[in-house]
């Protein structure tokens, strides 16, 4: 097969399935609108949702088109090593967030991650994080928007800019109308729609290549070779498809990038903050970890199928870029009807990802920038209006940043670079501040700023050809690690030279200082043993380790 012409052969049934989905999404937005009376209802769903809803929304918010198109691209480009992004690069951090960090977030009643930094450190640290988070969210929203446009281009033959504007308008409609509840309930729906779209691609693809064994034999005959079938083989050096040493994988991806993303990314944490009580908030990311364990089956496997069935995949530009692995498989494998479900699943994934970015942006912009520094002490209705206008602004800026993403042949590489610059130094500042009560406000500000600048500098030096790495992803791993180390060193140097906050100011914000009540709002049903966040978390981490055995 070749990649000439990515246009999908959609018929009336496929378009009907797509139309029904769009009507449902907007209907959910209108239904959610009835519950919005205050800004907390709009931005945090009134802190009223059950754990299974917030848990599925948590994983769905991450399961954007970026994840699906990007991880399938990685599967084709790097082979089985892509599973690291799930089993070491997601699950342990999600469990850590639920068990250790959510009590501080939820217990302190903060409305956002930057607000926690204001309470723990000071206003300059708060403003720096709010601004960097806002920038990161509109850049990532642009990636999701570009990923959608790729699909719409393939589906309808629309020009890129038309697809970008139309896709943005749909997300804008249901978040502006329904707020976070509209986004979250749609994310639960989208989770199932996404799976319904990806499972047929995976199953039909495997059947076509002769099952799992047939796929393994075929991958061994590609340019990846035998190395494309293993997760850890040859990671004692960088002579592997990922071009990464095991230290970079474990420390850069498994610790800094992963923990930095999952524990401090407000677009994710916001879903847990909307839970109805402390137990539900802690279980939210842990419930999400279970589907996350299995998602490589419907992202990495299709990437490998595309590698062996699409001739010429991996071109620098045109239809045969790695980013098009999933659309090419849909074109080549799926009958009408099933094709409609798959396309709907891809569009749903885009919406879930972009909605998470936009709802995170509008909350941080309204509470942490506008209310904190520009217009204080206004009515709740005023901030509700600002939130809706911030939603519009985020989508409009996202349209612009989509064209930045269009310059990358593998959008996952771009997104990892963004995480290494924005999330890694934030995680370092956060984790030290949460566990070391002596850390001062000035140390918090300078560790965050200098960690960010070091990671950004390394990325620019790499892009300018001054510093050399084996791959874009290796640069991201090193950038994240360097940002983390910089933040730790800066905190260690500045803290002894400056005075800390008083103990009473740190209650509920720092580990071991008290002030966090894990049981006060627990409902009778939450006390049963199988709802224990610690037990559920340990099982998820054990499963992640076991899953590595067949592909070691």
Q: What is the secondary structure of 3-60 as a DSSP string? A: -S-------HHHHHHHHHHHHHHHHHHHHHHTT--SHHHHHHGGG-B-HHHHHHHHHH
> Nearest Cα to 51, choosing from 261, 352, 288?
288
Residues 6+ apart with CB under 8 A from 157: 7
Tokens standing for residue 88: 């070491």
Q: What is the distance between the alpha carbons of residues 405 and 144, in angstroms, rounded to a whole number? A: 9
Q: What is the distance between the alpha carbons of residues 509 and 503, in angstroms, rounded to a whole number? A: 10
Distances (CA, A) of 236 to 111, 228, 431, 471: 43, 16, 29, 16
Cα angle for residues 516, 518, 520 (degrees, 5° grid)? 100
Q: Report yes or no: 400 and 233 within 8 Å, Cβ to Cβ.
A: no
Residues 6+ apart with CB under 8 A from 463: none
Q: Report yes or no: 273 and 111 within 8 Å, Cβ to Cβ.
A: yes
Lowest mean pLDDT among 64-68, 312-316, 462-466, 467-471: 64-68
291: pLDDT strictly greater than 80: yes
Distances (CA, A) of 218 to 68, 224, 243, 266, 307: 22, 10, 22, 41, 9
Lowest mean pLDDT among 42-46, 194-198, 245-249, 507-511: 42-46
For residue 3, name the pLDDT band (cuts at 50, 70, 90).
Answer: very low
Residue 275 DSSP class? B
Distances (CA, A) of 325 to 2, 115, 153, 367: 12, 40, 14, 40
Residue 470 DSSP class? S
Predicted model pTM: 0.85
Tokens standing for residue 364: 């941080």
Q: Report yes or no: 67 and 302 within 8 Å, Cβ to Cβ.
A: no
Tokens standing for residue 164: 């970008």
Residues 6+ apart with CB under 8 A from 413: 471, 472, 473, 476
Q: What is the pLDDT of residue 494?
A: 96
For residue 4, name the pLDDT band (cuts at 50, 70, 90).
Answer: very low
Tokens standing for residue 424: 């890694």
> Nearest Cα to 271, choosing from 432, 55, 502, 540?
55
Q: Report yes or no: 74 and 303 within 8 Å, Cβ to Cβ.
A: yes
The label of the residue with tokens 């697809």 reads 163
Distances (CA, A) of 49 to 25, 27, 181, 532: 19, 19, 9, 18
For residue 248, name the pLDDT band (cuts at 50, 70, 90).
Answer: confident
Q: Report yes or no: 29 and 182 within 8 Å, Cβ to Cβ.
A: yes
Residue 237 DSSP class? S
> Residue 334: which H helix or E strand, with range?
none
Tokens standing for residue 35: 């519950």
Distances (CA, A) of 102 to 174, 193, 268, 438, 474: 28, 29, 12, 21, 31
Lowest mean pLDDT among 114-118, 162-166, 307-311: 162-166
Cα angle for residues 3, 67, 544 (degrees, 5° grid)? 120
Average pLDDT, the chain: 86
Q: Report yes or no: 219 and 308 within 8 Å, Cβ to Cβ.
A: yes
The pLDDT > 70 percentage for the chain reads 95
Radius of gyration of the chain (CA): 22
The label of the residue with tokens 């084996």 reads 470
> Nearest Cα to 494, choosing from 131, 127, 122?
122
Residue 158 DSSP class? -
Q: What is the pLDDT of residue 522?
A: 60
Q: Report yes or no: 203 and 195 within 8 Å, Cβ to Cβ.
A: no
> Residue 160: which H helix or E strand, with range?
helix 160-208
For residue 521, name the pLDDT band (cuts at 50, 70, 90).
Answer: low
Mean pLDDT (whole number) for 480-508: 92
Residues 6+ apart with CB under 8 A from 334: 200, 201, 204, 342
Q: Which residue has the higher pLDDT, 280 or 515?
A: 280
Specify burial of residue 237 (Cβ count, 10 A radius: 0-12, 13-18, 19+).
exposed
Distances (CA, A) of 380 to 266, 270, 364: 22, 19, 15
For residue 43, name the pLDDT band (cuts at 50, 70, 90).
Answer: confident
């Amino acid at each position: 097969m070749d990649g000439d012409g990515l246009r999908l052969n959609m018929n009336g049934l496929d378009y009907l399935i797509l139309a029904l989905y769009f009507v449902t999404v907007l209907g959910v937005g209108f239904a959610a609108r009835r519950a919005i009376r205050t800004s907390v209802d709009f931005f945090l769903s009134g802190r009223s949702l059950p754990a299974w809803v917030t848990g599925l929304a948590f994983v769905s918010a991450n399961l954007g088109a970026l994840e699906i198109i990007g991880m399938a691209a990685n599967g084709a480009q790097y082979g089985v090593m892509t599973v690291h992004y799930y089993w070491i690069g997601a699950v342990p951090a999600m469990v850590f967030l639920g068990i250790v960090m959510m009590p501080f977030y939820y217990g302190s009643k903060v409305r956002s991650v930057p607000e926690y930094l204001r309470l723990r450190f000071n206003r300059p640290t708060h403003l720096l994080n709010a601004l960097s988070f806002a920038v990161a969210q509109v850049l990532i929203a642009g990636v999701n928007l570009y990923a959608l446009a790729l699909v719409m281009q393939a589906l309808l033959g629309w020009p890129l800019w038309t697809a970008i504007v139309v896709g943005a308008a749909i997300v804008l409609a249901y978040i502006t109308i329904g707020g976070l509840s509209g986004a979250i309930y749609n994310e639960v729906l989208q989770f199932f729609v996404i799976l319904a779209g990806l499972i047929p691609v995976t199953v039909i693809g495997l059947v076509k290549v002769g099952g799992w064994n047939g796929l393994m034999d075929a991958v061994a005959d590609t340019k990846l070779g035998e190395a494309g079938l293993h997760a850890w083989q040859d990671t004692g050096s960088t002579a592997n498809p990922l071009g990464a040493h095991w230290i970079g994988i474990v420390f850069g991806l498994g610790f800094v990038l992963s923990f930095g993303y999952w524990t401090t990314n407000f677009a994710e944490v916001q879903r847990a903050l909307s839970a109805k009580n402390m137990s539900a908030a802690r279980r939210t990311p842990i419930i999400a970890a279970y589907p996350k364990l299995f998602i490589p089956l419907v992202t990495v496997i299709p990437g490998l199928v595309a590698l062996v069935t699409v001739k010429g995949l991996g071109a620098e530009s045109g239809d045969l870029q790695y980013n098009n692995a999933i659309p090419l498989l849909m074109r080549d494998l799926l009958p009408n009807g099933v094709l409609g479900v798959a396309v709907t699943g891809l569009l749903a994934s885009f919406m879930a990802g972009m909605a998470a970015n936009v709802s995170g942006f509008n909350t941080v912009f309204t509470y942490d920038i506008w209310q904190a520094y520009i217009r204080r002490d206004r009515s709740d209705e005023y901030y509700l209006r600002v939130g809706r206008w911030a939603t519009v602004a985020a989508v409009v800026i996202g349209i612009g940043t989509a064209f930045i993403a269009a310059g990358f042949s593998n959008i996952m590489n771009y997104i990892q670079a963004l995480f290494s610059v924005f999330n890694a130094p934030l995680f370092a500042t956060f984790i030290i501040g949460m566990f070391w009560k002596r850390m001062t406000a000035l140390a918090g500000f300078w560790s965050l700023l200098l960690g960010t600048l070091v990671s950004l500098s390394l990325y620019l030096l790499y892009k300018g050809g001054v510093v050399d790495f084996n791959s874009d992803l290796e640069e991201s791993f090193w950038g994240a690690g360097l940002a983390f180390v910089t933040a730790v060193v800066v905190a260690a140097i500045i803290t002894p030279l400056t005075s800390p906050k008083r103990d009473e100011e740190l209650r509920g914000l720092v580990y071991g200082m008290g002030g966090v009540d894990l049981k006060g709002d627990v409902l009778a049903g939450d006390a049963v043993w199988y709802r224990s966040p610690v037990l559920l978390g340990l099982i998820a981490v054990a499963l992640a380790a076991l899953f590595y055995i067949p592909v070691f």
